[in-house]
């Protein structure tokens, strides 16, 4: 399972109304650290298939969503459970750090 691509068209249904916790990766195509994190996010998406949703929001294309979550730096990772933001992490980090935060909300 590849990660989801969240847009303003599907964000409400896929993220805010999700039955499982969601990890949202806010990124931009021109962002070096974001590119570095992409394979890490892909791996987490595969590992947590069925237990959590993992997806990306392109901040250049989806400024409305980025604004809704006050995203000022990328990459930013927002953890959502039951339609509410429960945690956030900013910047490139090891897979284990992201997984630890995700595991805490499962």
Looking at residue 39, its pLDDT comes to: 95
Of 15, 23, 24, 34, the catalytic one is 34
Residue in 61, 73, 74, 54 with CA at minimum distance from that of residue 3: 54
The answer to whether 14 and 72 are in contact (CB under 8 A) is no
Q: Is 90 a catalytic residue?
A: no
Q: Is 31 a catalytic residue?
A: yes
Instruction: Round to whole Å and give the CA distance between 80 and 77.
Output: 10
Residue in 97, 83, 105, 85 with CA at minimum distance from that of residue 13: 83
Looking at residue 3, its pLDDT comes to: 75
Of 23, 31, 37, 57, the catalytic one is 31
How many domains does the chain contain in total?
A: 1
pLDDT tens digit at each of 106 positions of the chain: 567 999 999 999 999 999 999 999 999 999 999 999 999 999 999 999 999 999 999 999 999 999 999 999 999 999 999 999 999 999 999 999 999 999 999 9
Looking at residue 77, its pLDDT comes to: 98
Q: Which domain range does residue 91 map to?
A: 4-105
pTM for this prediction: 0.96
CATH number at residue 24: 3.40.30.10
């Amino acid at each position: 399972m590849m990660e989801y691509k969240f847009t303003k068209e599907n964000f409400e249904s896929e993220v805010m109304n999700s039955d499982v916790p969601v990890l949202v990766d806010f990124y931009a195509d021109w962002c070096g650290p974001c590119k570095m994190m992409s394979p890490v996010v892909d791996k987490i998406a595969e590992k947590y298939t069925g237990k959590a949703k993992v997806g990306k929001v392109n901040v250049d294309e989806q400024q409305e969503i980025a604004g809704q979550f006050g995203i000022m730096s990328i990459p930013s990772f927002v953890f959502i459970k039951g339609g509410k933001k429960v945690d956030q992490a900013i910047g490139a980090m090891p897979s284990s750090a992201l997984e630890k935060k995700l595991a805490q909300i499962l």
